[in-house]
Amino acid sequence: MESLQSKAKELIKDASVAVIIGYAAGTKKGKTKPFFAYSEEDCEKLIFTPECVNNLTIYLTRKFDFMKKGKVAIVAKGCDIKTINVLIQENQLKRDDVVILGVSCEGVVDKDVILDRAELTADLPEDKKSIKCITCDVNTPSDFDHLFGEGVESKAIEPMTGGIYDEVDKVRGMAQGEKWNFWMEHFERCIKCYACKKVCPLCYCDVCITEKNQPQWIETSAHERGNYAWNIKRAMDLSGRCTFCGECDRVCPAEIPLNLLNQEMAKLNYEAFDGYRAGYQTEEKPPFVSFKEDDDEGFIR
Amino acid sequence: MSRVGVFVCHCGTNISATVDVAKVAEEMKNQPGVVYTEDYKFMCSSPGQGKLKEIIDEHKLDSVVIAACSPHMHEKTFRNAAEAAGLNSFKVEMANIREQCSWVHPDKAEGTVKSLDLTKKMIEKVRLNEELDKIVMPVTKKALVIGGGIAGIQAALDIAAAGTEVIIVEKDVTLGGHMIQLSETFPTLDCSQCIMTPKMVEASLNPNITIYTYAEVEALDGYVGNFRARIRRKAKSVVEEDCTGCGICQEKCPKKVDNPFEMGHGKSKAIAVPFPQAVPNVPVIDRDSCIYYKTGKCRICEKVCGPKCIDFDQQDEIVNVDIGAIVVATGYDTMPLDRFGEYGYGKYKDVIDGLTFERMASAAGFTEGEMKRPSDGKTPETVVFIQCVGSRDESKGVSYCSKICCMYSAKQTMLYKHKVHHGKAHVFYMDIRAGGKNYEEFVRRAIEEDDANYIRGRVSRVYEKGDKLIVKGADTLSGRPVTIEADMVVLATAMTARKGADKLAQTLGISYDRYNFFSESHPKLRPVETNTAGIFLAGACQAPKDVPETVAQASAAASKVLGLLSQETLKREPITAEVNEANCIACFDCLNICPYGAITSKGITDRDGNIIKEVAEVNPGVCQGCGLCNAACRSKTIELRGFKDNQIYAEINSLAV
Amino acid sequence: MTLKLLKEDGLKKLIEALNKADTRVVGPKRNKAGMVTYDDVNADTELELDEVIGRYSPKDAFFPQHETVMRYKLDGKDVHVKAETPVIKETVLLGVRPCDAAAMISLNKVFTWDYVDTLFTERQKKATIISLACNNADESCFCTSVGFAPDGTEGSDILLKKIKSGGYLAELITKEGEAFATTHKSIFENAPAKADTVAIAEPTKLDIDIDRIKSWLDDKEKSWEHPLWEQLAAKCVGCGGCTFVCPTCHCFDIVDEPYGDQGKRVKNWDGCQFDHFTLHASGHNPREHQPQRWRNRFSCKFKIYPDRFEKKGCVGCGRCIRVCPVNLDITEAMTEITQIAK
Amino acid sequence: MSEEKVENKEVWTPRIIAYVCNWCTYGGADLAGTSRKTYDASVRVIKLPCTGRIDPLFLLKAFERGADSILVSGCHPGDCHYNTGNYHSRRRWTAFRDLLEFSGIDMRRIHFSWISAAEAVKWVDVVNDVSEKTKELGPYTEFQRINEKIKEYDGIFAEQG
C-alpha cells in the first residue's frame, strides 16, 4: 500500500484535504481500526488488507464532524462507495467535498475470522469472506478519484442471487408460522443497544424515532414487542437505501441476522421496482419517493 | 388536564334507535379529561348548537367531541358553532356514530359498543388537537385562461367585463378553436364565423385581456390566489408588434403546405395565417416547411415585408405570469379513424369526417361552400351520414356518448339539402339524442322538411364500386339489411380529450378521468371546479359539450373566478405540514414525495448569517395536507397538523383490547 | 479458608439438587445464535465452562436489562398505581468468571450508594456466586493488569478450580459459601490433601499503572482536554456495545410504556456512549462529541468509581474490546496514559 | 382446556382496524350508511387525509394493541384527491407487505383495497369479507403472544384490568 500512503501524503502535503479517513493496524490480532491521518507521518500508518472490514463512510455523515474540517479523503472499497452514492442521493454529501481513494478489493474477512499473516497475502478463501463479498460486483470501485490495487476485475453476477440471497430465499420458503418463530427467536435476543443504527451510515437522523416518546412508536424495552417493532421499522426505513455494507449485522452483539432483513428488502426493491439497486447511481429517485402508474397492485382489491 | 365536553346526538331516532345514546353519554363521563357529557335530540339544530355554545362557555370546555353523523356532514357546522363560543374550531372532533354505526349495525348492543369505542377514540384524539389558525393568503387579482376557443374567449370576456385582468394562452396561431371551423350552428343555423369572429375581435380589443397565441403553459407553481404560470411563447419568426397583417408574405411565399384548418383539403403557405379572420392577424412561419430553415436560402418573405418584421432568428420567449385563478378551456380532439376500416376512411377520398364536411359547407372553406366531393369534385347526389363512429362503442372506441353528433348530423343533412336540392341524405343512427331547447324540433325539421332519411341501425361496411360508395347496413326497426349507393359518406366521429390533456393536467395538478377529460370536483354540485382550488373548467375539455353548454359553463367558470378574485385575502384550513427545524436533517424525502412542490430547502443561519444547516420548509399556502411527507419522514420530523403522529397513536391506543 | 472437592459428577448433582429446591441456576450457556451468555441452566450438560468468557456479563441476573418498577391503570378519573414486587428466587450463579464476580461487588456499591435499589439488593442477597477460575485467557483479557486475577476470590462465595483428573477443587470464600457447601454437603466432599489443578491462565500483563492513571485523571488541568481523547475516540460510532456488555456499567433509563388505558413504568439499560444520554430537554448536550462521552466512560471506571465507592470500576474482562466494531481498545488508552503520566 | 376454548370463542369478537382516506373510502363508508346497508360491526375506522399518510408504524401499533386484522383502503389509482398519494402508498405497501410477510406476519390478516366514495357496496363487501375471514382465523394469538408474554413476565395488573 505504498502508493496509497504516498498519494495520501501528497494530498496532505499540498493541503488538498484536511484529513484522510483510512485504516490502520488494530490493537489485536486480525483487527484493523478506522484511522484519521492529519499529517504525512500519520499517512505512513495507512493500510489496506482484507481485514479492513469497516465501512468508513459513516465518518462522512453528519454523525461526525469530519466534513466540517474541509475537504476529506476517504479510503473506500467498491461497496463503501455505494454508500457514498446514497449519501449524495439523499443530500447528505456533495461529491466534490470528498476525495475517494478507491481500493480494489477481492473480499474482506467475515466476522470472527482472524487471519494468519500468511493468509493475508494469499487469496482469501470464500469461506473466510464476509457474506457480502460473495455477491459483490464492485471489486473495482465504480467511482473514485484515485484507484489503488490493479488488476482486480469486478465479477459479473446475477443480482440478488447467491450468498445472502440464498439465505433470504430459504426464509422466503418457510411457512408463515415458521418464519414468525424464526424471527421471534432472533428478536427475543435483541438487547436494544441500537448498535445497528449507530454503526449504519444511512441511519443519520439527528433524532431517531426511538428517542421520541410522544408518541412512543417503538417501545424502549428489550422485549419481543418493542424488538419486533424496532427491527421492522429499521428494515423499512432502509428499504431501497441499504447498500449491504453489512455493518449492522457485523456489530450486532446479539447476532441477529440483520443482513437477511435488509437484503430481503433489497431483493424486493429489485424485483418490484424495475431492478432498482441502491448505491449504483446518484441521480435516480429512490423507490419510496417515486412511483409508476402501472406499479403492481395485485395485492389490492 | 383537558376539559372535554362530549355531546351524543340522537339524530331524532336515526342514532338512538340502534345506539344506546344515554349509555354512551354516561360512560364517557369516566373518560380522562372529560368534564361534561350529554345526549341530545338534534345537535345540529339551532337549539342544539345553542346548547353547545352555552356549555362551552359554562363549563370552560377546551375541547369538544360530537358523537353524531359523519364529519363530512356537520363538522363545519359544529366547528363554526364552537368558534362562535370562543373555542378554536380545530378543538372540535366528530365521532361518526350514524353513517358508520347506527345506520349500518342494526344490533343495538353491537352498535353501542362500537359507539363507545368511536367516541372514546375521538376524545383521545381531540385532547391532543392543537389550536390552529386559518391560513390567510393574499390574492393576485388576475386570471389565466388556457385555450382560446369559444369557451376560453367567453370566460375571458366575462372576467374582463368585471374589470379584472385576464390572460388567454392559446396553443394555436389564432383564437377561434374548433368553433371557427364550423359552417353553421344548430339549432338556429346561424353562421359560426358570423357569431364567433366578433367575439374574437372583442377579446383582442379588450384592454383587460392579454392574448398569447402560439403559446403553451409549461409549468405552474403556487396555489389558489397565488399561482405563477410559466408560459412558453413559441417563436413565430414574425415580430408580432410590427406586423400589419397585410398578407404579402403569404402571397409571395413559394412553399405550399397542407392547411390543417381546412382538414388537409385546402393549401396554405409556409408563412401564413390559417384563415383570413385570424386573431391576431399575424402570420407565422412553419419552420418545418419553410425553405429557408431547410436550405438556408429563400428569405422571400423578408424581402417583401414592408414593416420588416420577419425575424428568422426569433427565439421562444418565456413569460412568467402571476395569477390568482385559472380557467382551463382546452377543448377537444376528434377520434382518429384508423380503427374503423369498415367505413373506408383514408382509403376512399369520399369518406370524410364531420369537421371536413363543416369546412366543405362553409362559404369560406375549401370548396367555397359548394358541395363537391373530394375525389372528383362532383356534386354528391346521395350522402350517407353515419353517427356514433367511436362513440358508445366500448370495443373500438369510447363508452360515452359524444353528445353533439346527433345534432350536427341533422344540421349537416339540412345544409346539404339546402345546397343540393335534389340530393338525398341518409342517416344511420343508434338513438337520436336531441335533448336541448329546440333540438328535437330541429331534428324533426331535418326529417320532415329537408327529407333526411333516418335509418336506425349500424353500417357494417362501406366499399367502392365504380364511382359509388356502397354502404351496407341494417335497419334494426324493420329488421332488414339496407344497401345504399352513395356518392359521399360523412362520419360523425367521437369527441375525445385533447391529445396531451393528461400531461397538462399533471402540469396544473388537476385530476382527469380515464378518457383524459379533466375531472370536475363534483359532478352535480361543483361542475366547474376542479379538485385543485382556484382552477376551473370550461367547455369540452371536461366532457363532450355543444356550443350553448360550453358558453354557459364558461360564464359559470368566469363567475367562480370573479367570486374568488373579489376577495382581498383567502382563508384556508390550516391542515398543513410543519417541520421541526431542530431535528430536520434535510434528506428531502418529503420534498421529493410532495405532490404539490410545497416543500423547499431552507438554510438556517447563525448570527453572522452563515448557513449552518439546511432544513425542509413547507409553504403552507401550497400544502394541501395530504400527509405523504409525514409518512415518508423516517424520524417524524415533518408532521401534518391535525393528523400528527401522537394524535393517530392516541386513536390506535384507545382501541387497545 | 475451607477447601472442598466436587467430584466429576458434582456439578450434575448440584444442579439436580438446586432444581429440586426450586433454586434458579444461572450459568454460561450457548444460545441459539451460538454465543455463550449467562442464562438459566437446567442441566450440567448445558454449561459451557471452557468458553473464555460469556459475550455479556452476568449482571443481568441482578440488574435485568428490562425491569418493571411500577404499573398504573386508569379507572374512570382515578389512576391506580402499584409498585412492582416480583417473586425473587434463590439463585446460584454457577461457573461465572472471577472478574465478573468481583464486578458484582462494584455494582452493588452503585445500587446501594444513595438510594437502595431493593430490586437489585434482593436479587443479590438471594444469590450465591460460584465462580470458576480461568484456565484460558484470550488476547482481550487483562484482569491482571488492573489488579485482579484469573483465580481471584473477590465477590465469589465459592471459587472452583478445575482438577486435571476431573472434578473441581472448591474454595469456600465466604460464610454464605460455607453455608451453601454445608447444605449440599453430599456434593461438596472433603478435599484431598493435594489436588493437581489445571494451570491458571496468564493473561498478558500490560504496562498499565491504574494508580498513575487515576492521578492523571484527578489532575483535570492536564487530563480533561488532553488530545488523547480525540485521538483515541474520534472513531467511536457510539454504538454503546461496550456499556451493555460491561459487568460494571449500570446506567439505566426510566420510561413509561402505555398500553390502552393502562401501562407500566420500566427501567431499561441505558449507556453513556449514546448521544442522547446527556441530552437536555433544552437541546443542549454537555457531552456533545463522542470523545467526551468516551472520556466519561473511561473516567467512570478509573476515577469516579474509586473516588465514590473506593472500588475499581474495571475488572479487566475485556468484553468491551471484543465487542467494539472500531477496535477502540481501552487498554490502549490505559497504556498510553500510563506513559503520559510518567 | 378444549371447553375453555369453546367458551372463549363465544365471547370473542374480532377487532379490525381500518385505516382509510378521507376522500374516497371514508366517503364510501358514509354512503353505505346513508344507503342503510348493514355490515359487520367489528371494524373501527381511523380516518386520515390520504392513504399516503398511513405509516407502517400504524399497522404495527394496531397489532401491538390487539388488532386481529387490519384494513387499509383509499382511492382508486388516478382518483387520489392529492393526485399521487395513493401511488406512493401503493409502493410503500408493496415493500411493507413483503417485509411483514418475510418476518412471519399472517398476511391473511392484512387487507388492502381501493374503495371510491361511490362504492358503498364494495365497502360493505370488503368489511364483511375481512371480518368473516378473521372470524375463521380466530384471534391473532400468534402476535398477541408477545403481549401475553410481556404481561406474564411482569405479572400483569390483571386483578384490576
pLDDT tens-digit series, residues A93-140:
999 999 999 999 999 999 888 888 777 777 788 889 999 999 999 999
Contact, B86 vs B28, CB < 8 A? Answer: no
Closest Cα of chain D to A117: distance in Å? 41
Q: What is the pLDDT of residue D151?
A: 63
Contact, A216 vs D39, CB < 8 A? Answer: no
Centroid of chain to Cα B211 = 21
Per residue in D41-80, pLDDT (tens digit) is 999 999 999 999 999 999 999 999 999 999 999 999 877 8
Q: Which amino acid is at D21?
A: C
Q: What is the pLDDT of residue B573?
A: 86
Q: Is C167 left (phi over 0), alpha (psi -120 to 50) or beta?
A: left
B649 pLDDT above the threshold of 50:
yes
Q: Least CA distance to A250: which residue of chain C?
A: C325
Q: Which of C222, C251, C244, C263 is nearest to C320 (CA)?
A: C244
A221 pLDDT above the threshold of 90:
no
Cell of A80: 463503501
State whether residue A16 sits within 8 Å of chain D by CB: no
In angstroms, rounded to a whole number, what is the distance separating the alpha carbons of residues A206 and A208? 6
Q: Which helix (H) or strand (E) holds A197?
A: helix A195-199
State whether residue A283 sits within 8 Å of chain B by CB: no
Residue D54: which of B107, B631, B657 has the nearest Cβ?
B631
C residues 113-152 closer than 8 Å to A (CB)? 139-140
Q: Least CA distance to C322: which residue of chain A?
A: A28
pLDDT interval class at D6 (50, 70, 90): very low
In angstroms, rounded to a whole number, what is the distance separating the alpha carbons of residues C172 and C3? 6
Q: Rounded to the nearest 10 degrees, how much is the dihedral formed by the CA atoms of C275, C277, C278, C282?
A: 80
Per residue in A263-285, pLDDT (tens digit) is 999 999 999 999 999 999 998 88
Q: What is the pLDDT of residue C318?
A: 96
Contact, A73 vs A11, CB < 8 A? Answer: yes
Q: What is the pLDDT of residue A295?
A: 92
In angstroms, rounded to a whole number, what is the distance separating the alpha carbons of residues C317 and C323? 12
Per residue in B513-571, pLDDT (tens digit) is 889 999 887 777 789 998 788 999 999 999 999 999 999 999 999 999 999 999 999 88
Q: Beta strands of B555-652 (E only): which ranges?
A: 569-572, 577-579, 599-605, 611-618, 638-640
Per residue in C36-85, pLDDT (tens digit) is 999 999 999 999 999 999 999 999 999 998 888 898 888 878 888 988 88
Centroid of chain to Cα B455 = 36
Which residues in chain B are closer than 8 Å to A204, comparing Cβ atoms? 585, 587
3-class DSSP assignment, residue D24: coil
3-class DSSP assignment, residue B77: helix
The residues that bridge with B461 in the sheet, in sequence order, are B472
Contact, A57 vs A74, CB < 8 A? Answer: yes
A56 pLDDT above the threshold of 60:
yes
pLDDT interval class at B243 (50, 70, 90): very high
- Contact yes or no for A232 and D88 at CB 8 A: no
Q: Which chains touch C (3 or more CB pairs under 8 A)?
A: A, B, D
Overall average pLDDT of the D105-117 stretch: 95
Residue B634: which of A92, A237, A290 has the nearest Cβ?
A237
Q: Which of A140, A179, A173 is nearest to A156 (CA)?
A: A140
Pairing of strands C66-75, C262-269: antiparallel
Closest Cα of chain A to D128: distance in Å? 14
Q: What is the pLDDT of residue A153?
A: 82
Q: What is the pLDDT of residue D158?
A: 38
Overall average pLDDT of the B46-69 stretch: 96
In angstroms, rounded to a whole number, what is the distance separating the alpha carbons of residues D96 and D87? 14
Which residues in chain A are closer than 8 Å to C239, comparing Cβ atoms? 193-195, 198-199, 251
Q: Rounded to the nearest 10 degrees, how much is the dihedral formed by the CA atoms of B203, B205, B210, B211?
A: 60
pLDDT interval class at D152 (50, 70, 90): low
Overall average pLDDT of the B620-649 stretch: 94
**Mutation for B interface: A89, A91, A194, most B CBs within 10 A:** A91
Q: Is A291 left (phi over 0), alpha (psi -120 to 50) or beta?
A: beta
State whether residue A62 sits within 8 Å of chain B by CB: yes
Q: Which of B596, B526, B514, B592 is nearest to B556 (CA)?
A: B526
In angstroms, rounded to a whole number, what is the distance separating the alpha carbons of residues B74 and B7? 13
- Contact yes or no for B592 and A285 at CB 8 A: yes
Q: Least CA distance to A63: which residue of chain C?
A: C237
Residue D106: which of A176, A224, A236 has the nearest Cβ?
A176
Q: Which chains touch B (3 or more CB pairs under 8 A)?
A: A, C, D
D154 pLDDT above the threshold of 60:
no
The residues that bridge with B604 in the sheet, in sequence order, are B613
Long-range contacts of B593-596 (CB under 8 A, 24+ apart): B593/A288, B593/A289, B593/B628, B593/B629, B593/B632, B593/D52, B593/D88, B594/B623, B594/B628, B594/B629, B595/B509, B595/B624, B595/B626, B595/B628, B595/D82, B595/D83, B595/D84, B595/D85, B596/B223, B596/B509, B596/B622, B596/B623, B596/B624, B596/D82
Residue D56: which of A236, A289, A299 has the nearest Cβ?
A236
In angstroms, rounded to a whole number, what is the distance separating the alpha carbons of residues B371 and B420? 7
Q: Which amino acid is at B339?
A: R
Q: Least CA distance to B31: which residue of chain C?
A: C76
D residues 119-148 closer than 8 Å to C (CB)? 147
Contact, C253 vs C63, CB < 8 A? Answer: no
Closest Cα of chain A to D36: distance in Å? 23
B10 pLDDT above the threshold of 70:
yes
C275 pLDDT above the threshold of 70:
yes
Q: What is the pLDDT of residue B338?
A: 87
In angstroms, rounded to a whole number, what is the distance separating the alpha carbons of residues B292 and D97? 61
In angstroms, rounded to a whole number, what is the distance separating the alpha carbons of residues B320 and B571? 25
Closest Cα of chain A to C7: distance in Å? 35
Which residues in chain A are closer than 8 Å to C238, comparing Cβ atoms? 63, 198
State whether residue C7 sits within 8 Å of chain A by CB: no
CB-based burial label for B206 (10 Å; 0-12, 13-18, 19+): middle
Q: Which helix (H) or strand (E) holds B232?
A: strand B226-233
Residues in chain D: 161
**pLDDT > 90: what percent of chain D?**
71
Query: CA dist C303 to C143, C217, C313, Å?
Result: 17, 7, 8
Q: What is the pLDDT of residue B230?
A: 97
The residues that bridge with C258 in the sheet, in sequence order, are C263
Closest Cα of chain B to D104: distance in Å? 22
Closest Cα of chain D to C68: distance in Å? 7
SS3 track for chain C: CEEEEECCCHHHHHHHHHHHCCCEEEEEEECCCCCEEEEECCCHHHECCCCCCCCCCHHHHCCCCEEEEEEEEEECCEEEEEECCCCCCCEEEEEECHHHHHHHHHHHHHHCCCCCCHHHHHHHHCEEEEEECCCCCCCCCCHHHHCCCCCCCCCCCEEEEEECCCCEEEEECCHHHHHHHHHCCCCEEECCCCCCECCCCCCCCCCCCHHHHHHHHHCHHHHCCCHHHHHHHCCCCCCCHHHHHCCCCCCEEEEEEEECCEEEEEEEECCCCCCCCCCCCCCCCCCCCHHHHHHHHHHHHHHHHHHHHCCCCCCCCCHHHHHCCCCCCHHHHHHHHHHHCC
Which residues in chain A are closer than 8 Å to D150, comparing Cβ atoms? 223-225
Q: What is the pLDDT of residue A1?
A: 59
**Residue A94 CB coordination number (10 Å):** 10
B296 pLDDT above the threshold of 60:
yes
Closest Cα of chain C to A89: distance in Å? 23
Q: Is A285 left (phi over 0), alpha (psi -120 to 50) or beta?
A: beta
Overall average pLDDT of the D93-108 stretch: 96
- Contact yes or no for D81 and B645 at CB 8 A: no
The residues that bridge with A101 in the sheet, in sequence order, are A75, A146
The per-residue pLDDT of chain C, averaged, comes to: 93
Q: Least CA distance to C257: which residue of chain B?
A: B653
- Contact yes or no for A212 and B636 at CB 8 A: yes
In angstroms, rounded to a whole number, what is the distance separating the alpha carbons of residues D50 and B630? 11
D9 pLDDT above the threshold of 70:
no
